[in-house]
Structure 1
Amino acid sequence: MNDVKRKPNMPKRLKWYSFRWRIMLLIVILIALPSVYVAYCIHAATRVLPMGSGPAGPNVSSVPFQKIWSEGKVSLIGLGDSITRGLGAQREHTYFELLQENDDVQYMDMKGCGLRHVFPRLEARNYAQDYTVTREHVEKQLPSVPTYPPDVKGVVVITSGGNDLIHDYGRSEPTDGAMYGCSYKQAVEWTEDIKARLAKLIEGINGKFPGGCQIFLANIYDPTDGVSDPQLKGLPRWSDAVKVVSLTNQKIAELCNSFENVHLVDIHSEFLGHGIHCTEFWRKHYHKNDPHYWYYENLEDPNRRGYDAIRRLFLTEMIKVLPAWLRV
């Protein structure tokens, strides 16, 4: 009777080995989570994203194109970077060419919806060049544009500023005109410089058309669909990428608002959900009806469907502006 009896309310002491399954589960989780993430990254970096088929972007009414907008001389001018030049698609499927004349076989819903149908005397010149930044658009492209006589109206399309952000792809320290990897604080100053150069470009173009012109300026899209993870496609990490793109687009919008004849073409919003996360249904910008990739293999430029979307966005803004302007 020397054994000491355990008191009824005294908690039972757990043996150390009763924790083994919990410890093992924790170890498995700690090993599995990084492995799953690494597998996801490898998959994201190597998979071929589907482009899809059919029309891309907003519907465009054919009604405005059933009447002539002007019998006078009109010059369509393209300025800027590789998006306006057309890298990533055959020439006839770039947005600059599609603005003039639709491919009725490829895009049957856009039959007749081209500027040549409403401007019988349209002349078109594209001065845009691949890999160029805003400074080159002012210093090299603008001087190439002739000064037109007063009886010529101008319609100008511009994509500019994107290369200022992505150059030099993280291969050198970020600086004005090659901002990749910069902090938001650095971008505050450099985006003001972008805005100033674009203002100079616009002022210069206005001077080339004494008879008047309307300018359509696109903002900058985000191939990461708002996730800010360009490293998935082999580029260096850039945690502030989305914030910098947003700030740049804010400056472009401010610039458009400061000129009566400059109109914002919002390609940024339309392209969200068509970047490197286009097939991931849990993402904020996932498009159930068109979960497809609108970018070229270089991640910078559109593919054929992306260019279709861009021309529709430009035409949508032009319909709002040009018929009424030319009737005055």
Structure 2
Amino acid sequence: MRIRKTRLTIVCFIGILAIACAGFYVRYFMLRPIGSGPAGPEVADESFRKSWSDRPVKLVGLGDSVTAGLGADSPDHTFFQRMIENPSDEFVDMQGKSLSSVLPELTTENLAISGSTSKDHLRVIEDRLSLHDPDVFGLVVMTSGGNDLIHSYGRRPPKECAMYGATMAEAEPWIASFRSRLNDMLDKVTAAFPGGCEIYLADIYDPTDGVGDAPSVYLPHWPDALAIHEKYNEVIRECIDARPNVFHVPLHETFLGHGSHATQFWRSTYVAEDPYYWFYENIEDPNDRGYDAIRRVFLNEIVDHSSLRVSDKSVAE
């Protein structure tokens, strides 16, 4: 009788442990809660209390689906549109913080295309970006390179601008081509604005939070993924550093802790105040809260670096 009770106790303990382990796995490895409310860094109030400039300014969006806005809950919640003006349901802390509120002569054009690669972006710049009048100042926001890495999701052999699954040896010439292409893009964008322009170029985020375990985002294993990803981001930073009018927008850093491991409190990337997933259901694009964070990061970089804020002595801080 005593042996039976002992066995029953052991079986019950194992059962409870199995249930607890299953619950832990579901909670911290499978669930992707997105949270609610504002996301991303604060944007200072004082930067938007006065007009920055009376110059004609053209805001141009270039790049892929991140700048196009795929995954946002509505067209006015894309990061590009939220930069221009606040939506009707804007968060309290961002009300009044938009480019249209400080640039009265602002016009806009978004040339970004969902699903496009860096080859497509060069063609768009060459074919669709107009030569502007010298009195127009350009503000250009750009995301490029992410689709070069993630396409075609391991379904086909890797190739340039669709290199998913490539080895570093295979990727090296494609990375070199990206460097040449990105330099060409930045030079041609600058040339399209003879009156001056600033380009705000984002690096590429990582939906695995720096772990590199592609199956966690439902993609095939890719051993060299993180190394190739980092090389692409190195190229982006090199091209930025070579030009005084191009500025780095740190999406990679901003999104760490908001990917597939967002809830895992034991990781160094864990963000206790917002342990939520910022990616859309297709993995490669942001969700609505992710776009809020991107809008804030771009605005902060523009606030920190734009010559427009001091071009008019009457509003210089």
TM over 0.5: yes
Query: C-alpha separation between the residues in 2 aligned to 1:147 and 1:123?
Result: 15
Whether 2:120 is the aligned partner of 1:136: answer: yes
Shift of 1:48: 4.2
What is the RMSD computed on CA atoms of the aligned residues? Answer: 2.1
Q: Secondary structure at the match of 1:251?
A: helix
Deviation at 1:111, TM superposition (A): 0.9
* CA distance in structure 2 between the aligned counterparts of 1:226 and 1:81, rounded to whole angstroms: 22
Query: Alpha-carbon deviations, 1:91-113, whole Å to 9, x = none?
Result: 11100001111236331101111
CA distance in 2, matches of 1:245, 1:135: 17
Does residue 112 in structure 1 map to residue 93 in structure 2?
A: no
Residue of structure 1 in register with 2:295 after alignment: 311
Q: How does 1:57-76 map to 2 (within 5 A)?
A: 57-76=40-59
* Seq. identity, %: 45
Which structure would you say has the larger RCO, counting Cα contacts within 8 Å and 6 or more residues apart? 2
Which residue, 144, 150, 170 being the options, matches 1:160?
A: 144
Q: Which aligned runs of 4 or more in structure 1 are off by greater than 6 angstroms?
A: none
- Structure 1 stretch 128-137 or stretch 140-149: which is displaced more? 140-149
- Between 51-60 and 80-89, report the one with greater CA deviation: 51-60
The yes-or-no answer on 1:51 pairing with 2:34 is yes
What residue number does 2:78 align with? 94
- 1:273 pairs with 2:257: yes
Displacement of 1:233 in angstroms is 3.0
Label 1:40 to 1:188 Cα distance change in 2 as closer, same or farther (>3 A). Answer: farther
In structure 1, the residue matched to 2:5 is none
Residues 139-168 of structure 1 show CA distances to partners (whole Å, capped at 9, x for unaligned) of 134421111110100000000000000011
**1:41–1:244 Cα change, 3 Å:** farther
SS in 1 for 2:48: helix
Q: In structure 1, what is the Cα distance between the partners aligned to 2:27 and 2:93?
A: 39
- Alignment partner of 2:187 out of 203, 218, 222: 203
- Aligned pair count? 292
Which segments of 5 or more consecutive residues in structure 2 lack a partner in the other structure? 1-16
**What secondary structure, in the 3-state scheme, does the structure 2 residue paired with 1:206 have?**
helix
Contact 1:104 1:111 in 2 (8 A): no
Deviation of 1:188 (Å): 3.0
Give unmatched runs, 5+ long, in structure 1.
Answer: 1-31
Query: Could you tell me which residue of structure 1 aligns to residue 283 of structure 2?
Result: 299
Matching residue's letter, 1:123: T
- How is 1:125-274 mapped onto 2 (pairs within 5 angstroms)? 125-274=109-258
TM-score (normalised: structure 1): 0.84
Q: What TM-score results when the alignment is normalised by the length of structure 2?
A: 0.87
- 1:257-316 per-residue CA deviation (whole Å, 9 max, x = no partner) reads 001100000000010010011011111201111100000000000001100100111011
Structure number with larger C-alpha Rg: 1
Amino acid at match of 1:326: S
Query: Aligned pair in 2 of structure 1 residues 42, 125: CA closer, same or farther (>3 Å)?
Result: same
Question: Aligned equivalents of 1:252 and 1:194: distance in 2?
Answer: 9
1:82 to 50, 65, 84: 65
